[in-house]
Amino acid sequence: MEKPTFPKGFLVTISGPPGSGKSHCASRLAELYRIPHHSAGSIFRSIAKERGLSIEELSKVSASDPSVDREIDLRTEGYARAGGCILEGRLVSWFSGGVPKLSFYLTAPFEVRARRIAEREGIPIEEAVIRTKDRQENERQRYLSIYGIDISDLSGYDFVVNTSIWGKDEIVALLKSVIDLYLTTHFGRR
């Protein structure tokens, strides 16, 4: 197997709201670059398993117990410090300071994201709309109260990409071309 193509310590973060395509893009890019992909969602599922809870139960706990979010952030920071990977999740760009990184924020209009969630989870669109609105508001309030982070502030991202204007493969190709250009201009890699 060839060596990974990321320089030691370099990191790519991919953030965005539910249904934006961040998980697909992060996992596909990790495959293409042959590097690890760590997601806040996977960390959340690991914590649920460690605590003997379902994902839904841990979600309810996290609404009133900031230790869940802090544990996710602590693990995220560990992956960020090690570098050489892609981190994906709502706050990963905020918790990856001090390392060379390229950060993307993926988004799409709410209706597009709700439709994607409905299709992915096999639920009616009306239910996806309600769940997505509730989740977004819950996360917005939690991140503001725990960290003072306004997740609508996109100033910390290098690139903001509307994923509704192309298909999945085109979005991955776009992100890969930006990463390749960054690696060439900042690390002399081709």
pLDDT digits (tens, 9 = 90+) for 93-121: 887 767 788 999 999 999 999 999 999 98
Percent of the chain predicted with pLDDT > 70: 96
Identify the CA nearest to 61 among candidates 43, 80, 42, 47. Answer: 47
Tell me the one-letter amino acid at 153. D
Question: Rounded to whole angstroms, how far apart are CA atoms 74 and 58?
Answer: 17
- What domains appear along the chain, each with residue ranges and CATH number? 19-187 (3.40.50.300)
> What pLDDT score does 1 carry?
39
- When pLDDT is averaged across residues 13-29 and rounded to a whole number, the result is 95
Residue 142 — pLDDT band, cuts 50, 70, 90? confident
**What is the average pLDDT score of the chain?**
89
Its pTM stands at 0.88
